[in-house]
Structure 1
Amino acid sequence: MDRPYGTIFKGFRGRLLEDEPLAGHTALKVGGKADVMAFPEDLDELRQLYAGCCEQSVKCLVIGGGYNLLVRDNGLRGVVISLKKLKAVERLPGNRVKVQAGVSNQRLVKCLELEGLSGLEFLSGIPGSIGGALAMNAGCHGHEIMAALESLTTLGAGGLQETAGRDLEYGYRFLNLAEGAVIVEALFQLTADDPTAISVRVAEFIEKRRVSQQVGYPNAGSFFKNPPNASAWRLIDAAGLRGTTVGGAQVSEQHANFLVNRGGATAHDFLELAALVKERVRAQSGVVLEEEVRIVGEE
């Protein structure tokens, strides 16, 4: 590797991709190239790579499933680190389970269903990985992931740090972590229950999502946060924006808080469409919407 920061990959065992288009690694299917994309084989290799980036002042971005992410068309300089290989799930005594950040929400729900552990069934209706779900305190239908969290392990410039869930600051679609901190592992306290009863609840959550959010095109889930005492989709709908398009990006005709890629969309299309939605909603209702999707990359 002839990049000036190639020495940080000395002894690296995982896969490395240079000039990698990030459109293939995000749910919206847009985004420019990363200088280098790395896939650490395990937590120790992730720790070493992250430490090397910090020591040599190399920009890095850590991503999970790419479901709550919009990468600008000019891409990202530096290193993008994928957590996809961090996929261990371990049951511990006392109805607890330790989960690495790269585990998909659906896989975890299935594991817990088989183990007869209840408390995270609602994740079956939310795409993405556990790391991403924790980073935004994901939830639906009155449930939030942080409610079941016993402790969280993060990676920062100083290495790994474990923090009790009760000591974390969080709220609606919000978790306050130190700048640069990366979620790598979580310990959940759950409740023993009959696997059949858990399966019924999982099926109910999946059906609710199918009915209300089956939009049929690449999307990042809810694009905007719900304002206090209001629903973003209702405000967008009331502003007459359902079905509005900019380039290949569209306000979904099925769910107005989903911006979808109808084909050939660019990140610029999504940014322009999001700006239009915010402007029209503010003019119609006086409410300023805030993006739930994380926007990264070069301007």
Structure 2
Amino acid sequence: MTTFLPNNPSPNPSRKREGNEVAPAQSRLTQNAPLAPLVWFKSGGKADFLFEPAKVEDLSNFLANLDESVPVLPLGLGSNLIVRDGGVRGVVVRLGKPFAKVEAIDATTLKCGGGASGVLVSSTARDAGIAGVEFLRSIPGTVGGFVRMNGGAYGRETADILVECDVILRTGERRTLAASELGYTYRHSNLPEGAIVISATFRGTPGEPQAIQAEMDRIAAAREASQPLRSKTGGSTFKNPPGHKAWALVDEAGCRGLKRGDAQVSEKHTNFLLNLGQATSADIEALGEEVRTRVKETSGVTLEWEIQRVGVPA
């Protein structure tokens, strides 16, 4: 395996002081990197390597010089993810602060870094008087994840606002893809395998900041009332089947509060799985599979996972 890292980055990702100057943050490559602290479930194994680039050129060069047989997994906020207990083979790429900038480039358009959160995108849009992206306030993820999975909530989805995205392909090549090239369907895109979204251009409509804030407040209150926001969870577990709500099917199957070890189906919102303390990823995934089995038996509907499951079992 080639582990070429451009510009000989320091193992310390923090900025260093050189006299009175602050040196730019450098890229970091970590071997046997624990992933549990980086995901919302707080469970799972290690990555063979974790690469945290400081700039686009480092990411591009790293991928171009990485053996093509080595798998690459992008990681955002780790909210909609189960990392299996045996860890992740290959390289996990995590886009941090250097990729988290958001700016308005005209009266209705935002340029957003792939590592920017939905909260930052929607807040920047509010300040710029851009409406139509308030729904991102409710999605616990980053722009890269929204683009890949056509993230959505409250009647809106990424496909409604995306103009284009910039990606680094697995080969290290940088490319701009129009929204029409991504083949968007419900919680799915045709983004190339291994591609990492480094930025996206979103377009909304002109709006008044006060009205935009009011809509964001409404969405935040709705989430607070219905979802276990302060728990170790992974967000919505299953996709809504056509003509159904996943939470209702889970509830009808008698799974509200169902447990396996320290993993539990939320009693507040049955499409959320929880880690009550020391649940393993195996516990969480097995509980999800038990829910799928019970829903199939009671309703005849096969639930599809919305949460991404990666890595190998212990």
Out of 27, 34, 38, the position equivalent to 1:25 is 38
Inter-partner Cα distance in structure 2 for 1:215 and 1:262 = 13
Could you say what secondary structure the match of 1:240 adopts? coil
Q: 1:7 to 1:135 in 2, by over 3 A?
A: closer
- For the 8 Å contact 2:165–2:177, the answer to whether it is kept is yes
Out of 287, 291, 297, the position equivalent to 2:301 is 287
Task: Give the aligned partner of residue 204 of structure 1.
Answer: 218
> Normalization by structure 2: what TM-score?
0.90
Following TM superposition, by how much is the alpha carbon of 1:43 offset from its aligned partner in structure 2, in angstroms?
1.7
In structure 1, runs of 5+ residues without a counterpart are: none
Inter-partner Cα distance in structure 2 for 1:5 and 1:179 = 20
Inter-partner Cα distance in structure 2 for 1:79 and 1:158 = 14
Q: Does 2:94 match 1:82? A: yes
Could you say what secondary structure the match of 1:210 adopts? helix
**1:1-299 residue pairs with structure 2 within 5 A?**
5-8=2-5, 11-12=8-9, 13-53=26-66, 55=67, 57-85=69-97, 86-156=99-169, 157=171, 159-299=173-313
- For the 8 Å contact 1:215–1:254, the answer to whether it is kept is no
Could you say what secondary structure the match of 1:175 adopts? coil
Inter-partner Cα distance in structure 2 for 1:240 and 1:215 = 22
- For the 8 Å contact 1:65–1:84, the answer to whether it is kept is no
Matched letter for residue 33 of structure 1: K
- For the 8 Å contact 2:2–2:65, the answer to whether it is kept is no
Following TM superposition, by how much is the alpha carbon of 1:56 offset from its aligned partner in structure 2, in angstroms?
5.1
Following TM superposition, by how much is the alpha carbon of 1:211 offset from its aligned partner in structure 2, in angstroms?
0.8
Inter-partner Cα distance in structure 1 for 2:218 and 2:280 = 35
Over residues 202-222 of structure 1, what are the superposed CA-to-partner deviations in whole Å (9 max), with x where a residue is unaligned? 101101111111353111110
Q: 1:215 to 1:167 in 2, by over 3 A?
A: closer
> Normalization by structure 1: what TM-score?
0.94
Could you say what secondary structure the match of 1:152 adopts? strand
Inter-partner Cα distance in structure 2 for 1:238 and 1:34 = 38
Following TM superposition, by how much is the alpha carbon of 1:95 offset from its aligned partner in structure 2, in angstroms?
2.1
Q: Alignment RMSD, CA only?
A: 1.5
Inter-partner Cα distance in structure 1 for 2:68 and 2:194 = 15
- For the 8 Å contact 2:4–2:62, the answer to whether it is kept is no
Matched letter for residue 74 of structure 1: G
Identity %: 39
Q: 1:7 to 1:42 in 2, by over 3 A?
A: closer
Richer in helix (by share): 1
Following TM superposition, by how much is the alpha carbon of 1:189 offset from its aligned partner in structure 2, in angstroms?
1.4
In structure 2, runs of 5+ residues without a counterpart are: 10-25
Could you say what secondary structure the match of 1:203 adopts? helix
- For the 8 Å contact 1:68–1:132, the answer to whether it is kept is no
Could you say what secondary structure the match of 2:234 adopts? coil
Q: 1:132 to 1:242 in 2, by over 3 A?
A: same
Following TM superposition, by how much is the alpha carbon of 1:94 offset from its aligned partner in structure 2, in angstroms?
4.8
Could you say what secondary structure the match of 1:277 adopts? helix
Q: 1:163 to 1:6 in 2, by over 3 A?
A: closer
- For the 8 Å contact 2:256–2:270, the answer to whether it is kept is yes
- For the 8 Å contact 2:107–2:130, the answer to whether it is kept is no
Following TM superposition, by how much is the alpha carbon of 1:52 offset from its aligned partner in structure 2, in angstroms?
2.0
Could you say what secondary structure the match of 1:17 adopts? strand
Inter-partner Cα distance in structure 2 for 1:228 and 1:185 = 31
Could you say what secondary structure the match of 2:233 adopts? coil
